[in-house]
Amino acid sequence: MKYIGQTGRPFKVRFQERFHDFRYGNGKSRFAQHPLENRHSIGPMESSMETIHITNKGWMMDTFERFYVFRETKLNN
């Protein structure tokens, strides 16, 4: 399964927030919900997250996000 989202902040900060949600089971993050619901673990940031595309925040980032979500949905991910 893949989760696609956008951020204007460093990956390390985003991963720490999501890992906190996972560890304490508060369900605030959709990234953390899947492993919680399916009893999976979360590995190191380097194996859990990757950069797909870099662009400035705004409509272009929204467009790229919609494209990659569409593509992964077609691939059944």
In a domain, 28, yes or no: yes
Burial of 74 (0-12, 13-18, 19+ CB in 10 A): exposed
In a domain, 59, yes or no: yes
Domain extent for 41: 11-74
Band (pLDDT 50/70/90 cuts) for residue 37 is confident
Please state the rounded mean pLDDT for residues 47-64. 84
Q: How many domains are contained in the chain?
A: 1
In a domain, 42, yes or no: yes
In a domain, 43, yes or no: yes
Band (pLDDT 50/70/90 cuts) for residue 67 is very high
In a domain, 6, yes or no: no
In a domain, 2, yes or no: no
pTM, entire model = 0.57
**pLDDT, the chain, mean:** 82
In a domain, 39, yes or no: yes
